[in-house]
């Protein structure tokens, strides 16, 4: 396919929106590992549950208020708050017991959560796919018809990235979190309750994933099996960027999203292969990722 200005703008726009969706999902996974040293393989499944919860609230608000726009504006923050509490409970009763375990044991336990949550989804919501439909009209920009909702996804990803940076570098709680990454025992000796910090961070990671699901629902359906595809992409992003690095996750999401979008246009058969080639190249050059540190290796 010929790459003209119109197709270039369309694919760039599509790639940026995909990149921000990946960042919103991957940032919680990277944050959890960076602070708690926990690889949560069930992160995308909790994202999926957050999407179902958002759909349930959306349908409730549509029936009571009648406006799908108002319904989604109310449903996303409410579902995010609910899943934050779910994350805190999970950390308190399950994840907390895995801090001193090796990575294979963490992956085994969190994979078990995938199986449990999958059956839970079937019992509560069934096996049908869910999607939120909004009255959105295409936008003509420079002769290219674009979905204006993608601007919301791109803006949301940038806002969450900026918010996480400000949280970690400009707030007292964020500075405590960063200190706990380097010396948990010293922070605990100062009288700061490390378990409370970890519970909040794990809940925040799940909340960001739920926000990602809610924002993405008007553009893609969710259903059983979607989480397994996404968790592979998430790990690719956080490994390329560097485990535990929010900036690295943001940059890696941009690389993966934009490269995949243009590869689909130019060489669709090898789109995913190109992403794996990028991953392999980065691992050979910097085994700890673009913005990671050697101690994470």
The whole-number pLDDT of residue 2 equals 57
Percentage of the chain exceeding pLDDT 70: 96
**Phi-psi category of residue 113: left, alpha or beta, with phi > 0 → left and psi -120 to 50 → alpha:** alpha
Own/partner contacts of 177-186, CB < 8 Å, gap of 24 or more, are 177/35, 177/201, 180/35, 181/34, 181/35, 181/244
Q: What is the pTM of this model?
A: 0.91
Cα 163 to Cα 146: distance, rounded to the nearest angstrom: 27
Which of the four pLDDT bands, split at 50, 70 and 90, describes residue 97?
A: confident
In contact, 227 and 239? CB cutoff 8 Å: no
Residue 142's φ and ψ, nearest 5 degrees, are 55, 40
Q: For residue 157, give Cα distances in angstroms to 22, 39, 67, 99.
A: 9, 22, 25, 29
The whole-number pLDDT of residue 7 equals 75
80 pLDDT above the threshold of 70:
yes
In contact, 15 and 228? CB cutoff 8 Å: no
Identify which of 139, 146, 150, 144 has the alpha carbon closest to the alpha carbon of residue 7.
144
Mean pLDDT, residues 161-168:
91
Which of the four pLDDT bands, split at 50, 70 and 90, describes residue 3?
A: low
Mean pLDDT, residues 150-167:
92
Which residues, 6+ apart, have CB-to-CB distance to 8 below 8 Å? none
Identify which of 284, 295, 182 has the alpha carbon closest to the alpha carbon of residue 240.
284
The whole-number pLDDT of residue 296 equals 41
Cα 128 to Cα 95: distance, rounded to the nearest angstrom: 30
Any idea where the domains of the chain sit in the sequence? 5-296
For 42-51, 64-73, 99-108, 202-211, which range has the lowest pLDDT when averaged over its residues? Answer: 99-108
Which residues, 6+ apart, have CB-to-CB distance to 38 below 8 Å? 32, 95, 98, 99, 106, 202
* Higher pLDDT among residues 100 and 81, named by residue: 81
3-state secondary structure of 159: helix
Sheet strands (E) in 87-244 = 139-141, 144-146
When mean pLDDT is compared over 176-180, 201-205, 244-248, the highest value belongs to 201-205
The whole-number pLDDT of residue 70 equals 94
Q: What is the pLDDT of residues 235-287, one digit of tens each?
A: 899 999 987 788 999 999 999 999 988 888 788 777 788 888 999 999 898 88
Which of the four pLDDT bands, split at 50, 70 and 90, describes residue 297?
A: very low
Helix axes 5-36, 246-266, angle to 10 degrees: 150
């Amino acid at each position: 396919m010929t790459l003209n200005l119109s197709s270039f703008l369309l694919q760039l726009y599509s790639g940026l929106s995909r990149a921000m969706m990946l960042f919103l999902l991957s940032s919680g996974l990277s944050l959890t590992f960076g602070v708690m040293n926990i690889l949560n393989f069930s992160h995308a499944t909790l994202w999926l549950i957050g999407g179902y919860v958002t759909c349930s609230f959306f349908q409730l608000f549509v029936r009571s208020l009648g406006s799908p726009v108002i319904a989604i504006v109310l449903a996303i923050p409410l579902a995010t708050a609910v899943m934050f509490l779910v994350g805190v409970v999970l950390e308190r009763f399950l994840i907390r017991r895995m801090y001193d375990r090796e990575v294979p044991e963490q992956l085994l336990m969190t994979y078990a959560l995938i199986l449990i949550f999958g059956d839970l989804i079937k019992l509560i919501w069934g096996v049908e796919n869910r999607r939120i439909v909004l009255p959105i009209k295409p936008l003509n920009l420079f002769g290219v018809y674009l979905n204006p909702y993608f601007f919301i996804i791109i803006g949301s990803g940038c806002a969450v990235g900026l918010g996480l940076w400000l949280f970690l570098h400009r707030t007292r709680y964020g500075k405590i979190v960063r200190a706990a990454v380097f010396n948990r025992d010293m922070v605990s000796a100062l009288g700061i309750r490390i378990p409370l910090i970890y519970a909040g961070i794990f809940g925040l990671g799940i909340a960001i994933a739920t926000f990602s699901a809610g924002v993405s629902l008007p553009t893609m359906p969710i259903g059983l099996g979607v989480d397994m595809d996404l968790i592979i992409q998430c790990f690719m992003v956080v490994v390329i960027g560097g485990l535990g690095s929010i900036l690295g996750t943001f940059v890696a999401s941009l690389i993966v999203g934009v490269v995949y979008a243009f590869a689909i246009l130019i060489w669709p058969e090898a789109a995913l292969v190109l992403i794996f080639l990028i991953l392999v190249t980065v691992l050979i050059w910097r085994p700890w990722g673009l913005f990671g540190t050697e101690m994470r290796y």
